[in-house]
Each structure stands twice: as C-alpha cells, then as structure tokens.
Chains A and B, each alone.
Chain A
Amino acid sequence: MNWERNSGILIGTIFNSRIYNLMIKKKKILHSQFKFNLIPFLFFVILVGCNRKIPEYTETDSQAILNPDYSSITIPPNIAPLNFRIMDKADLYLARFYNNEGTEFMVRSKNGEIKIPDKKWKELLKISGSGEYSIDIFARNSGEFTKYQTITNKISQEPIDKYLVYRLIEPGFETWNKMGIYQRNLENFRQTPVMLNSLSGGNCMNCHTFARNSGKDIMFHMRGENAGTIIFKDGVYSKVNTKTDSTISAGVYSSWHPSGDFIAYSVNNIVQSFPAMPGRKIEVYDTLSDVVVYDIRKNLIVTTDQLSRPDILETFPSWGPDGHSLYYCSAVKQSMGNYDKIRYDLMRIPFDPDNCSFGQPESIIKVSDKGKSISFPRVSPDNKYLLFCLADYGNFTLWHPESDIYMLDLSTGEEIKPEINSNRTESFHEWSSNGRWVVFSSRRDDGLYTRPYFTYFDTAGKMHKPFILPQKDPEFYVDFMKSFNVPELITSQVGLNPRKLEKFGKKNQTIKAGL
C-alpha cells in the first residue's frame, strides 16, 4: 500500500482552505454593512433574476472560486440545490445554469450568493439525459462583465438515499450542552430532529445505527440518567440495558445485522486524555474492549472467546452484507499511557445467523507492523469493497489529522487510497443502499468542525471529487458551530421524533439483556 499522501489531494485541500478563508473575509465585509435578505426582496430577485439574457462580456481563463466548491463534481439526480457563493469580488453576479437538452436559467445576485430556485434545479437535473449540466458565471466590475471558465458537473443516474442522519454536537472534550440526532431530507433542505437531549434531561446520546440503510429500524444509546439502548424495530420501541455481569460495558460502537435480528456491539472501557502538543487536542482510547452480539429476538448477549480475548482489544464490529461475516478491528493491548502504540488490524470472523455462532477469525489487513491503525470498516452492499480509516495509531480517528479513508477490493485484496482525502481528518464513512454513494466525515474546511461530504463511487471502482452537504444558505458552514457526527444514509424517514421518544420513554421500562 502506498502510505504517502497524494500531493494532488493536498493541493486541493489547501485550495479549499483558501476558499474557506476567502469566504470568511467576504462575509466580514458583508456583515459590516449588515444586510438583511428580506423574503420579498429575495422573491423579487428570483423572479427578476431568472431567465435573463446573457450580457456582453469578456472572458477570463480563470475559474470562479465557489464556496462550497461545487465544481467538477458528480452529483445524484435527487440532491437539493447546490447553492454556493462566488468568492471573487464584483458588484453584480450572474450564474447561468444550462444543459444540452435546452433547460436554461439564470440566477442574479448582488452579494455573490447563488440560491438556485428549487423547481428549476429539479428541472435541470431531471432533463439532463446527457448526464451533465454547466454553469457560466459572470461578474460585473465597473460596469463590465467578465465570464469565468464554464463549470461542468456530472449527474449520476443512480440516486442517493433520501435521508442523511447525523448527530449535531460541539467538537468538545468532556462537556456537552445541547445535542440532537437529526435527519435531513437530501432532496430539499428540511432537517427534523429524531431526538433532542433537551427533552431527556440534557443527557448524552450517541451511535445511531440502522439496519440495511432503512429508517424503519434505528437504534441509539442514551447515556446518563436515561441510560439504555433505544431500539426501534418494525414500529416497536424498546430500551435495553446491554450491560451484563460478564461484559465490560453496555454496547458502544454498533452494527445492525442485515437480517435485522442481531446487533453487534463493541463493549469498551474508554479513556480520554488531553495531550499538550499542538495539533493533538484529545486522545480517546480503550483500555479494554471486546465484541459481542445482541440477539434482539431472545434479548441475549452472545460472544465467543475469539472476540473477547483479554490481551487483545477488539472493536468496531461491522457486518458483511450477507450477514455471514463480521468484520472488526483488533489490537494488542498496551499499558496505560502507551496509547500511541495501540494499533488495530482488520479482522473477519464467520457468523452463522441460524444458531448465532462464530467460526475462526482471520486477518484481512495487517497494518500494525507498519506503524498504522485501522478503524471503521464498512463493506459495500455488493460485498466487493471495504472502506476503512487509516491513522498512525488508536481508533478515535476524529481527532487524528492524519486519518484518511482507504478502500480494500475484497476480491483482489488490493488496497486503494481514493482521491477524496484531504490533509485534515477524514473519519467516518458509510455506503448508500445502492453502493454508488459514500458519505464521509471530514474536517477539511477548518480542521475542527466535522462536515459530511458525499462522493460518487462509479462502477469502475473510482471515487469522484467529493462535495459537501448542500445548505439553503451558502454560508451556513461559516457560522455553524457544531459538528456533523456519524453521518448515515437511509432510504426512508425515521419514524421517530423527540415527542414520540419522550412518550415511549415514560411508558417503557428498560429491559436488561441476558448472557
């Protein structure tokens, strides 16, 4: 495997970072003037702004700087409008959207914010049989229009799952305040809460997981006073205490079996420490960890000696799509303080769902001897590829700037570093239900706040240039001070909301799992 960083990607990231800074600077100028985008004014702009004629212009060789960078990307046909801001200074901006099928419209802006009308956007994506659309950007300075190089984006035929679920939380250390698990409709900008900790006494909640990318089956952990694992399956709510007398802890990192009948958990003794070196703010590591499987039907915790060896740390269980194999990460236990020597390899153990039994584990990728560590294995729905994070050590890659996403071709054993990484943290990733899209967490914008990025994974096994989750306000990410944690793609809406959960919580007792 090539452990060297891809220099092209590095340049790309530096460029992105420059855009981010530019974006902040531009906004500073704007808020010194304090503008209010009144709804009627916007409506007027949209009405008047669309379908204008192209002005006379001179052409430049350079490309307009957009933020977010929505250029040369491949997008799903069902994504919400990719609104952006043009970072180059001008007193008037025009963005002409068009495709080869004759759909064409223009968005006019005085401040560089290009907010695409929803209806026209859908038309643009629907009609683009050629699989692409283009954007011409014109900027007016001193009465003269300049046209930048045309931006062309590809439109994939394969849709992305309709919903993205994530937890919004400050990227802090030990303290939290308001947090919530939210679902975002990717076809528009609607975000609704699944659970808010303000309705459950301000407790921590984490690790939301779905079965087969379906919003119908969801589980997540509640911590603190309301501790328990909430499992909402086939419309039935239950709250389970997955801690048994013989396991290290209640379930932590989880993976739902494709059959929907089992959930694999890691059980961990997690420690936090705070290094003093710049660039390293927090280390989260395990002093103990095993992998167990929870049988939902029998309310039983099952494990095997192979997954709970005392001298080995087993964690991050992840089912293969056929349900007959369980991937996980495994490291040799280290003494306290030697957290930077804990390095995980990728393992796989056969699983028989009929009698809930395990076979013999096998090593899939061994990197610990090369000074590397694997985390978050995720197998594609077609069982051909496996994505994982690779860092220098440990498993909590969120705080490891060197962490990148890698891909294993399960048929050839080839390890590939896709061109989607940055020189900052890439930490968590998940496949869409059709296997053509991947969502992953990245801190590439500012190095601290985690944002969800999407990449198209084509049939040739190539990942395309990633793009950030679109927002109605192109500058949303500049002001937003929470991280998007554990992004998961699901095909249908989660049938839960905080009110329902509050009611369920009061009616239901916590069930203690047996062993």
Chain B
Amino acid sequence: MIRSLLPGVIFILVFMYFAVFNKYHILYLEQNQLFRFNLSYLRDFFLLPGPLSLIIGAFFTQFFVISWLGALIITLKCLAVYFFTKYILGKYNIMGLVFPFIPVWLLVILHSNELFTPDQSIGLMLSLLFTAVYISVSTPKIRYILFLSLWPLYFYLTGGFAMICVVICTLHEVLSGTRKDRFLFIALYILEGILMPWLFSQLLFFIPKGKIFTYPLFYTFHTFELVSLISVYFILPVLMVTGYFINKVNASVVKFIRGTTIKILTGSLTILLMVFVIYKFAYNKRAEQMFAIDYHIRQAEWRKALKQAEQYPDLNTLVIYYTNLALLNSGQLGEKMFDYPQIGPGGLRLKWERNSNLVFGGDIFYYLAYNNEAYRWAFEAMVAKGVNPRSLKRLIITSIVNGDNDVAEKYLHILGQAPFYRKWVLKYERLLSDPASLANDPEIKRNRNFLVNKNFISNATGMNLDNLLENHPENKMAFEYYLADLLLRKELDSFAENISRLKELGYTSIPLCFEEALIFYNFYENKQVIPEGFSFRPETVARFNEYAGLYTKFRSDRAAARYELGKKFRNTYWYYLQFANI
C-alpha cells in the first residue's frame, strides 16, 4: 500500500512545491529564452554538442508562461528520473522506496535555483533513458554493440550528459558482467568516451577545449548547489556500487536492514531530512519574492508589486528600484516614497552592468518616455541574454514610437514564431497596418508625445531628467522622478526651485514627501516657499513640530536621536534627510 501510495504523494508535493512556492521563479525562467518554431533557430542548436537536450529544454520552457504548467513539467521530469533510477537500481536489488527519490530530491534542490535551467534536467533524463535501455539488454554482445554504435550519436545529441552513460554503463559491466572479455569492451567504452568528443571537437564543432567533454552541462554553481549538482550526476553509480556490496555482505545484515519497522523508520526520517534540506538550504524565499515583484512590474501591476515589496525583508537595490518604479507609475511616489526603504539616487535607476541587470534596468527609461535609452537597454539585454520575449516586446514598442516600423516588423515576426506571444504580436501587427489606430494607442501615443526633439547625450549614471523636462516640461512622471531624485540627493535648494510647477502639472495638493521636504527647507533656510495655490496640511506641520522637538531633545546624542526618531518618523523625509547615509 505504502509502496504504491508514497510516490504519488511525494510527486503531488513536488508539484505543489513548484506551483505554490516557486511560481514566480517559473515565470521568470520563461522570460529568459524564446522557443521559436523556426528551422534556422533550431539549426543553430546543432552547431555544438547537446542539441537534443537544449531543444527539448527550450521547448518545454515556453510552457512556463503558465506557472502551474511549468510546475507540472518539472514534476514530470522528476517522475521520469524516478522511474529510470528505480529501474536501474532494481537491477541491483535495491528495492528501497527512498533510493530512487535521491536523484529526484537533488533535482528539486537544483530546480529551486533559477540558474538551473530545464535543459539540464532534460539532459540528465536522457542520459538515464539511455542507461536504462542499455541495462535492460541482457545479452552482453548486444549491449556492447548497442553502446559502441549508438553512444557517439547520443553524445552528439546530448553532449556532456552522455558522459554519465559512459560511467554508468562501464560500471554496470564491471559489477554485473560475467564474461572475461568484458574488460576489453570496458576499455573500448572508455576509449570511445574520450576519443569521440575529441574527434567531434576537431571535425564537427568549434568548441573551447575546456568544454569538449562537458558542454552543455552547467557547472558554475557554488557550494551547496555545486555539491547537489555533482551528486545528481554521480548518485546513481554510487548507489549501484552500494547495492552491489550490500548484496555481497552476509544475509543477517541484509535481513536486519530489510526489517519492516527499521525500513519505515529510516525511510520516513530520510524523507523528512530531504524536505528539511530543501526548506533550509534550497528554497530561496527572497529570490521568489524578487521574481514576484519583477513579474508584477512586467505586467504593470503596480499595487501588487508594492504589496510584494512591502514584504521583502532586506535592502535590495533591485527591489528598491522596482518599488520606486511602481510608486511612480501608480502616482504615489511623492506621497509614499519614504514608506519604503530608500538608498539614495541609486535606488531610482540601476547601474549599467553588462550581462547582468540590463533586462530590468531599462524599464524606468521606458516609463519616463526616454525612448532611445529604453531601446538601448532592451537591445543590450537581448544581446547579453539572447533573444527573449521581454526585450523583444520593449524593442518593438520603442521602435514603433521612434517610427522605425521596419525594425518593429522584424521583431514582431521573430516574436510571432513563439505561439504564446501570437496574440500580443497580432495586436501590434494590426496597429502597424492601421496608422490611425496606432496613433491613438495610449501607450504609443504617450511616448510619441514625449519624443525628444532637442538632442542630448545619455548620462551614464543619471537619468537625464532635466533634459527630458527641457524637451517636455509637461512630462509629469519625469517631473516627479526629478523631484524624487533631488530629495534623495538631499539637494533641497534645487527642489525648492522646481516645486512651483506642481499646479501646471495638475497636482491638487502637495504630495506628502514633497510637503515634508518643503516644510523642512522653509524651517531650515527661514524661507516661505509654498507653490502658488497650495498650502501645507496642518497635520504635517504638527508632525514636523513634534519631530523637531524630539530632534532638539536628542541633538547631543546622534545615535539616540536616530533610535528615538526612527520609532515614529522613519517613514518621513526628515528622517531620511538627517540620518540616511547615501
């Protein structure tokens, strides 16, 4: 009963783990590639070893656009690995329920990290499939022929994953073979395992020497994940050897190990330990939260992004940047920016880091209607990451805004080769074929209205907000970001100079953070700067008086002042101004 129920329960748990706890991780993975139904795209995979695992991996990753489907695919891969392992271990009389779960457990650990892509587990699955087929053949001669004739093709198709087959098949012959001539074939296996990849590298592929035997295996993990990765490749040979020796030891020990109570106890403990390790070391809640924010930003779900950001426990530049972006887009930046952690102007835009954060960093420029810069970040992200839907979408819209319709058409064509994006592509294809509708599309219209007409050069570390406002003083989002930037830089003189424009930009009251800044400025500089038609809210003035009183009380002890004021005024500009280190 347990034997048949337990695997089912465990795989339901695996599915739930990915569907519930790694939902955004799965959605993020989908955004890192674009599987296309296009022969030239598929042909490129064949330029290096392992096209089969890479193509199948990319094919399945496209379904990660629906998170539960992604979770199901990962679960099914784990299930396949479970069955192959169970079958192979069965040949060594290892019938314990837990053993086939060990590679599954390792896969779950590895799939908890976003760097471990689906093609990796597909590669492992394919190598186990080959091995299972090999072991299933009982006639040694047929096995030898099977390996020696098919392994080169298998190496071509799965690359470095086929090396696992060499190890396991060789081991199988050593442990279970009886023929004397098997050592000759074992030597041939090893020779083929060394010679064929080298020959392929000399005749077929252009591949760096260091990757001849391993590509496309991913192995740039560190510590815990690296141990898991190595384990997942070598666990089966280890179990095979263990099974072989257990079968050799005396019957009483085996009998003891096979006792039902001991078995259930050790099995349950092992499974509990596995769950604990996943929870403690593999699952990265913060990364999941970050992916959740990223997802909501992508979907322009600003309030959901903010809700996620509120729950993020640490100071993280990406989270702070996304928070400010969400605040800006939901019209709350001036009102609530200090309700969230701020790290200075560095939280308003990401640093340009090649091959790293380009895919996230361009968003702010897009919403500020800095079209060329949004295009540049998106293009560079596509170069660094490879063709991906997120960059393509941004390139399409920025190209349309710039009037580069032919480029937009090209990218629409590329994106349209991915079935899950056809609907999006059709929308823009229709718009491009109907200039009147295109001109009225709110997103295009807004960014076209703010197109730069007086040139300036991109500031490598800033956002050119002054230039954007010089081009279009009516760009309210640029204005709000500009004021936020000044506040975060603590440049209150410039802030006070610009605050007078609130009315012309349609503000009905002074946003709270701006009000706090202005009250402080007036108090500190002994001025009366109040934008025409606006007044300070009495409650804000009262709060400031309270703040000033407390500050005066602790003025001689800065640490105490920071502590006491932090209790009540941490979410005010006054506190940021006086205590934040930027």
Contact = CB atoms under 8 A, between A and B. Distances in A.
A272 to B, nearest CB: 10
B258 interface: no
Contact of B375 (A21, A176, A281): A281
A11 interface: no
Contact of A276 (B206, B382, B413, B458): B458
Q: How large is the interface on B (under 10, 10 to 19, 20 to 34, 35 or more residues)?
A: 35 or more
A448 B375 CA distance: 13
B444 to A, nearest CB: 13
B413 A478 contact: yes
Given A32-B422, A276-B372, A198 B208 contact: yes
Nearest to A498: B206
B457 interface: yes
Contacts of A277: 372, 452-453, 455
Interface string A192-218: 010010110000000000000000000
Contacts of A24: 409-410, 412-413
A499 B407 contact: no
Nearest to B417: A31
B76 interface: no
Given A28-B429, A175-B384, A499-B206, A446 B457 contact: no
Which of B38, B371, B373 has the most chain A CB within a 10 Å cutoff?
Answer: B38
B37 interface: yes
B376 interface: yes
Interface string A441-480: 0000111110000000000000000000000010010111
Nearest to B372: A276
Interface in A137-179: 170, 172-177
A448 B407 contact: yes
A170 B429 CA distance: 24
Nearest to A18: B406
B456 A170 contact: no
A40 interface: no
A324 interface: no
A102 interface: no
Interface in B201-240: 202, 206-209
A192 B552 CA distance: 76
A191 to B, nearest CB: 12
Nearest to B412: A24
B370 interface: yes
A279 interface: yes
B456 A276 contact: yes
B357 interface: no
A248 to B, nearest CB: 22
A19 B317 CA distance: 47
Contacts of B409: 20-21, 24, 446
Contacts of B429: 25, 28
B455 A280 contact: yes
Given A196-B206, A199-B208, A276-B372, A17 B39 contact: no
Nearest to B377: A173
Contacts of B332: none
A65 to B, nearest CB: 16
A274 interface: yes
A17 to B, nearest CB: 6
B406 A447 contact: yes
B410 A177 contact: no
B452 A278 contact: yes
B298 interface: no
B50 interface: no
Nearest to A192: B206
Contacts of A280: 372, 455
Interface string B338-378: 00000000000000001100100000000000111101100
A90 to B, nearest CB: 21
A63 interface: no
Contacts of B451: 278
Instruction: Specify which of B207, B383, B404, B455 lies most central, judged by the most chain A CB atoms within 10 Å of its CB.
Output: B383
A445 B372 contact: no
Contact of B39 (A36, A170, A198, A497): A36
A382 to B, nearest CB: 38
A473 B379 CA distance: 26
Given A17-B406, A28-B429, A337-B457, A502 B209 contact: yes
B38 to A, nearest CB: 6
B404 A447 contact: yes
B383 A170 contact: yes
Interface residues of A, number: 49
Contacts of A449: 410
A481 interface: yes
A27 interface: yes
**Most central of A17, A275, A497 by chain B CB within 10 Å:** A275
B407 A446 contact: yes
B406 A31 contact: no
Contacts of B414: 479, 481
A335 interface: no
Contacts of B376: 173, 274, 281
A111 B150 CA distance: 38
Interface in A255-308: 273-281, 283
Interface string B434-470: 0000000000000000011101111000001001000
Contacts of B422: 32
Contacts of B73: none
Contacts of A31: 37-38, 416-417
Contacts of A446: 406-407, 409-410
Contacts of A34: 37
A21 B458 contact: no
B113 interface: no
Contacts of A21: 405-406, 409
Given A17-B406, A198-B208, A278-B371, A479 B457 contact: no
A172 B202 contact: no
A277 B401 CA distance: 12
A275 B406 contact: no
B176 to A, nearest CB: 40
B403 interface: yes
B457 A273 contact: yes
Interface in B248-277: none
Contact of A275 (B37, B372, B410, B453): B372
B402 interface: yes
B550 to A, nearest CB: 46
A58 interface: no
Contacts of B358: 175
A175 B383 contact: yes
A37 interface: yes
A198 B402 CA distance: 34
A477 B197 CA distance: 33
Interface of A: 17, 20-21, 24-25, 27-28, 31-32, 34, 36-37, 170, 172-177, 193, 196, 198-199, 273-281, 283, 337, 445-449, 473, 476, 478-481, 497-499, 502
13 contacts: A25-B429, A31-B416, A175-B380, A198-B206, A274-B458, A275-B372, A276-B467, A277-B372, A278-B403, A448-B407, A479-B413, A481-B414, A502-B209
Closest A-B pairs by Cβ, 9 of them? A274-B458, A446-B406, A278-B402, A276-B452, A175-B380, A277-B455, A24-B413, A172-B383, A273-B457
Interface of B: 37-41, 202, 206-209, 354-355, 358, 370-373, 375-376, 379-380, 382-384, 386-387, 401-407, 409-410, 412-414, 416-417, 422, 429, 451-453, 455-458, 464, 467, 471
Given A277-B455, A479-B413, 15 more contacts: A20-B406, A174-B380, A175-B354, A175-B384, A274-B372, A276-B464, A277-B452, A277-B453, A278-B371, A278-B452, A279-B402, A445-B406, A448-B406, A478-B413, A498-B206
